[in-house]
Amino acid sequence: PPEIRRSDYAPFPWLVPTTRLEFELGLERTRVTARLDVERNPVAAVSPTIRLNGDGLELASLTCDGGEPEGRMMDGDDLLVTLSGDRHVLEIVTEIDPSANSQLMGLYASGGMLCTQCEAEGFRRITFFPDRPDVLSTYSVRMSGAKAQFPVLLCNGNRVDSGESADGGDHWAEWHDPWPKPSYLFALVAGDLVARSDSFTTMGGRDVELNVYVRDGDLDRTEHAMESLKRSMKWDEEVFGREYDLDLFNIVAVSDFNMGAMENKGLNIFNTKYVLADTETATDGDYDGIEGVIGHEYFHNWSGNRVTCRDWFQLSLKEGFTVLRDQLFSADMGSEPVKRIEDVRILRGVQFPEDSGPLAHPIRPDSYREISNFYTATVYNKGAEVIRMMRTMAGEKAFRRGTDLYFKRHDGEAATCEDFVRAMEDGTGLDLEQFRLWYSQAGTPKVAATLSHDGDVATLKLTQTVPPTPGQPDKKPMPIPFRVALFDRKAGTHSGEQLLVLDRASAEFTFEGFAHKPVLSINRGFSAPVSIERDVSREELVFLAARDDDPFARYEAMQELMTGYLVGSVSGDLDESESEAARGDIAEALKAVVEDDQLDDLMRGELLMMPSQSYIGEQMLVADPGAIHVAREALKTDLGTRLGEALHRLYDRAAQVPFSLDAEAKGARKIKTLVLSYAAASDPAKAAELAASQYDRADNMTDRQGALMVLAGLDSAERTARLLDFYNRYRGNALVVDKWFALQASSLHPQVVAHVEALRSHPDFNLRNPNRVRSLYMAFAANPAGFHAADGAGYRMIADLVLELDPINAQTAARFVPSLGRWRRIEEKRAAMMRDALERIARAPKLSRDTFEQVTRSLG
Ligand code: BAL
Ligand code: ZN
Could you report the per-residue pLDDT of 47-99, keeping only the tens digit for each? Answer: 999 999 999 999 999 999 999 999 999 999 999 999 999 999 999 999 999 99
Question: Are 749 and 830 in a shared domain?
Answer: yes
Nearest in space to 191 (alpha carbons), one of 215, 160, 221: 215
Ligand 1 neighbour 263 (Cβ under 6 A): yes
Whether 223 is in a domain gets the answer: no
Q: Nearest C-alpha to atom 3 of ligand 1 is from which residue?
A: 262
Confidence of residue 758 (pLDDT cuts 50, 70, 90): very high
Atom of ligand 1 minimally distant from the CA of 260: 3
Ligand 1 neighbour 371 (Cβ under 6 A): no
Ligand 1 neighbour 319 (Cβ under 6 A): yes
Query: According to the model, what pLDDT value does residue 509 have?
Result: 98
Whether 272 is in a domain gets the answer: no
Nearest in space to 611 (alpha carbons), one of 347, 355, 382, 345: 345
| Side-chain-side CA neighbours of residue 502 (13 Å) | 29
Residue 856 belongs to domain spanning: 731-860
Query: According to the model, what pLDDT value does residue 37 have?
Result: 98
Atom of ligand 1 minimally distant from the CA of 297: 6
Domain at 847, CATH number: 1.25.50.10
Q: Name the domain count of the chain.
A: 6
Question: Are 318 and 381 in a shared domain?
Answer: yes
Query: 259 CA to middle of ligand 1, Å?
Result: 8
Query: 321 CA to middle of ligand 2, Å?
Result: 9
Nearest in space to 591 (alpha carbons), one of 633, 542, 630: 542
Question: Are 592 and 665 in a shared domain?
Answer: no
Phi-psi group of 407: left, alpha or beta (phi > 0 → left; psi -120 to 50 → alpha; rest → beta): alpha
* pLDDT, mean of residues 515-528: 98
Q: What distance in Å separates the CA atoms of residue 765 and residue 737, rounded to the nearest whole number?
A: 10
Q: Is the peptide bond before 120 cis (omega within 30 degrees of 0)?
A: yes
Nearest in space to 276 (alpha carbons), one of 262, 263, 298, 293: 293
Whether 514 is in a domain gets the answer: yes
Q: What angle do CA 136, 137, 141 make, to 5 degrees?
A: 145
Among 181, 183, 297, the mutation site with the greatest number of ligand 1 atoms within 8 A of its Cβ is 297
Question: Are 58 and 153 in a shared domain?
Answer: yes
* pLDDT, mean of residues 719-727: 97
Q: Nearest C-alpha to atom 1 of ligand 1 is from which residue?
A: 262
Among the candidates 669, 691, 717, a domain finishes at 717
Among the candidates 685, 717, 749, a domain finishes at 717
pLDDT in tens, 396-436: 999 999 999 999 999 999 999 999 999 999 999 999 999 99
Distance between start and end Cα atoms, the chain = 16
Whether 264 is in a domain gets the answer: no
Atom of ligand 1 minimally distant from the CA of 304: 1
Query: According to the model, what pLDDT value does residue 315 have?
Result: 99
Q: Nearest C-alpha to atom 4 of ligand 1 is from which residue?
A: 262
Ligand 1 neighbour 119 (Cβ under 6 A): yes
Check: CB of residue 281 under 8 Å from CB of residue 735.
yes
Question: Are 804 and 847 in a shared domain?
Answer: yes
* pLDDT, mean of residues 741-769: 98
Domain at 484, CATH number: 2.60.40.1840
**DSSP H or E run through 742:** helix 734-745
% the chain with pLDDT above 70? 100
Residues 724, 730, 734, 738, Cα dihedral to 10°: -40
Query: 319 CA to middle of ligand 2, Å?
Result: 5
Ligand 1 neighbour 296 (Cβ under 6 A): yes
Query: According to the model, what pLDDT value does residue 244 have?
Result: 99
Whether 247 is in a domain gets the answer: no
- Residue 529 Cα distances to 26, 254, 438, 513, 616, angstroms: 49, 35, 10, 30, 17
Q: What distance in Å separates the CA atoms of residue 550 and residue 407, rounded to the nearest whole number?
A: 33
Q: Nearest C-alpha to atom 2 of ligand 1 is from which residue?
A: 262
Question: Are 417 and 489 in a shared domain?
Answer: no
Query: According to the model, what pLDDT value does residue 837 have?
Result: 98
DSSP 277: -
Ligand 1 neighbour 294 (Cβ under 6 A): no
* pLDDT, mean of residues 13-37: 98
Whether 213 is in a domain gets the answer: no
Q: What distance in Å separates the CA atoms of residue 700 and residue 660, rounded to the nearest whole number?
A: 9
pLDDT in tens, 764-803: 999 999 999 999 999 999 999 999 999 999 999 999 999 9
Among the candidates 517, 534, 551, a domain finishes at 534
Proximal ligand: closest to the CA of 319 = 2
Whether 254 is in a domain gets the answer: no
Whether 212 is in a domain gets the answer: no
Question: Are 578 and 695 in a shared domain?
Answer: no
Q: What is the DSSP pairing of strand 106-110 with strand 170-181?
A: unpaired
* pLDDT, mean of residues 672-690: 98
Query: 136 CA to middle of ligand 1, Å?
Result: 18
* pLDDT, mean of residues 227-243: 99
Check: CB of residue 189 under 8 Å from CB of residue 138.
no
Question: Are 765 and 664 in a shared domain?
Answer: no
* pLDDT, mean of residues 285-294: 99
Domain at 432, CATH number: 1.10.390.10
Ligand 1 neighbour 259 (Cβ under 6 A): yes
Query: 364 CA to middle of ligand 2, Å?
Result: 15
Ligand 1 neighbour 384 (Cβ under 6 A): no
Q: What distance in Å separates the CA atoms of residue 346 and residue 793, rounded to the nearest whole number?
A: 27
Question: Phi/psi of residue 602, each to 5°?
Answer: -65, -45
Question: Are 69 and 128 in a shared domain?
Answer: yes
Question: Are 542 and 618 in a shared domain?
Answer: yes
pLDDT in tens, 610-623: 999 999 999 999 99
Ligand 1 neighbour 447 (Cβ under 6 A): no
Question: Are 54 and 125 in a shared domain?
Answer: yes
Q: Give the residue numbers marked as catalytic.
A: 297
Q: What is the average pLDDT value for the chain, to the nearest integer? A: 98
Phi-psi group of 241: left, alpha or beta (phi > 0 → left; psi -120 to 50 → alpha; rest → beta): left
Three-class DSSP labels, 414-442: EECHHHHHHHHHHHHCCCCCHHHHHHHCC
pLDDT in tens, 322-336: 999 999 999 999 999
Query: According to the model, what pLDDT value does residue 780 have?
Result: 98
Atom of ligand 1 minimally distant from the CA of 293: 6
Question: Are 753 and 818 in a shared domain?
Answer: yes
Confidence of residue 300 (pLDDT cuts 50, 70, 90): very high
Domain at 100, CATH number: 2.60.40.1730
Atom of ligand 1 minimally distant from the CA of 261: 3
Query: According to the model, what pLDDT value does residue 368 have?
Result: 98
Query: 145 CA to middle of ligand 2, Å?
Result: 31
Query: 130 CA to middle of ligand 2, Å?
Result: 22
Check: CB of residue 322 under 8 Å from CB of residue 306.
no
Phi-psi group of 787: left, alpha or beta (phi > 0 → left; psi -120 to 50 → alpha; rest → beta): alpha
Check: CB of residue 833 under 8 Å from CB of residue 798.
no
Among 121, 273, 296, the mutation site with the greatest number of ligand 1 atoms within 8 A of its Cβ is 296
